[in-house]
């Protein structure tokens, strides 16, 4: 059976589902990059602007070029960051509309594993960055169980449900990231894992948020009657309440950085 593709059609829903997670991992990622202020940035796969906002708040960039294929995500991003030094454009990582060496830093925040040819995407980032500049990314550790709703996917698959995956999940492994960066001719390549936790006031809040992403509600809608309730029960059994009645979930991303020669 062919897999349904994952598309991002709702910037507001994305914010609750993934924007919050992106900021948790992204804050650690940007501290690790430690870029100087005043850089020109490209935020590739900028989505609804969560990663661009983080750059603005934490790294004092001179300007950001944000690019993403999803009009709904870009619409949310433009409203969210109106008046800030960011320009959003529709497009993809495989063919960046920027001249060679025109930015000082390029990043893909939770986007590399959506790029169908990751090597080409990394080569494009390296092309548009000026010598001495930063090329970096972080992705959920999809194959190591690091995705924030990995446990739900695991239970869905145990019930025989088909869960769509991003097209290039192997690029989320640290060794693959390292190899991609070296192959793109970057120097001083380093990788690291970033583990973060997020608390929800109740299991219901966690479940609602998880269903608001681009995959799970579709998985349940396509499933036989009763499968959605069965899935919820199985997940409930694996996610314990804390003393205050809330739940806490852990996720792990892998990150990579290198320098343009």
Ligand X SMILES: C[S@@+](CC[C@H](N)C(=O)[O-])C[C@H]1O[C@@H](n2cnc3c(N)ncnc32)[C@H](O)[C@@H]1O
Q: Where does this chain bind ligand X (CB under 6 A)?
A: 8, 18-19, 22, 44-47, 50-51, 68-70, 73, 92-93, 109-111, 114-115
Residue number closest to ligand X, CB atom = 47
Give the nearer residue to ligand X in terms of CB position, either 19 or 258: 19
| Shortest distance, position 67 Cβ to ligand X, whole Å | 7
H/E stretch holding 153: helix 150-158
The 129-140 sheet, strands edge to edge:
86-90, 63-68, 40-44, 103-109, 129-140, 247-259, 187-200
Separation CA 58–CA 55 (nearest Å): 5
Give the nearer residue to ligand X in terms of CB position, either 68 or 155: 68
| Shortest distance, position 158 Cβ to ligand X, whole Å | 25
66: number of Cβ within 10 Å: 24
Give the nearer residue to ligand X in terms of CB position, either 42 or 247: 42
Question: Do 200 and 246 form a contact (C-beta atoms < 8 A)?
Answer: yes
Separation CA 70–CA 105 (nearest Å): 22
| Shortest distance, position 242 Cβ to ligand X, whole Å | 26
Give the nearer residue to ligand X in terms of CB position, either 15 or 232: 15
| Shortest distance, position 68 Cβ to ligand X, whole Å | 5
């Amino acid at each position: 059976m062919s897999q349904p593709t994952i598309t991002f059609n709702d910037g507001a829903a994305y914010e609750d589902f993934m924007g919050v997670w992106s900021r948790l991992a992204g804050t650690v990622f940007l501290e690790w990059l430690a870029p100087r202020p005043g850089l020109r940035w490209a935020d590739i796969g900028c989505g609804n602007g969560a990663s661009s906002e983080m750059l603005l708040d934490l790294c004092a960039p001179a300007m950001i070029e944000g690019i993403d294929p999803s009009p709904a995500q870009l619409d949310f991003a433009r409203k969210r960051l109106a008046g800030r030094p960011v320009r959003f454009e529709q497009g993809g990582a495989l063919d960046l509309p920027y001249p060679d060496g025109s930015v000082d830093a390029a990043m893909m925040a939770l986007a590399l594993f959506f790029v169908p040819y990751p090597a080409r995407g990394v080569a494009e980032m390296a092309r548009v960055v000026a010598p001495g500049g930063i090329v970096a990314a972080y992705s959920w550790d999809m194959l190591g169980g690091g995705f924030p709703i990995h446990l739900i996917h695991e239970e869905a698959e145990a019930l025989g449900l088909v869960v769509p995956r991003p097209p290039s999940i192997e690029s989320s492994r640290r060794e693959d990231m390292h190899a991609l960066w070296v192959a793109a001719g970057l120097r001083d390549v380093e990788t690291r894992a970033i583990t973060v936790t997020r608390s929800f006031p109740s299991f219901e809040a966690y479940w609602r948020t998880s269903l608001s992403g681009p995959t799970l509600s579709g998985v349940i809608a396509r499933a036989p009657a009763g499968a959605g309730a069965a899935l919820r029960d199985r997940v409930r059994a694996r996610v314990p309440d804390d003393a205050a009645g809330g739940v806490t979930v852990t996720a792990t991303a892998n990150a990579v950085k290198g320098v343009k020669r």
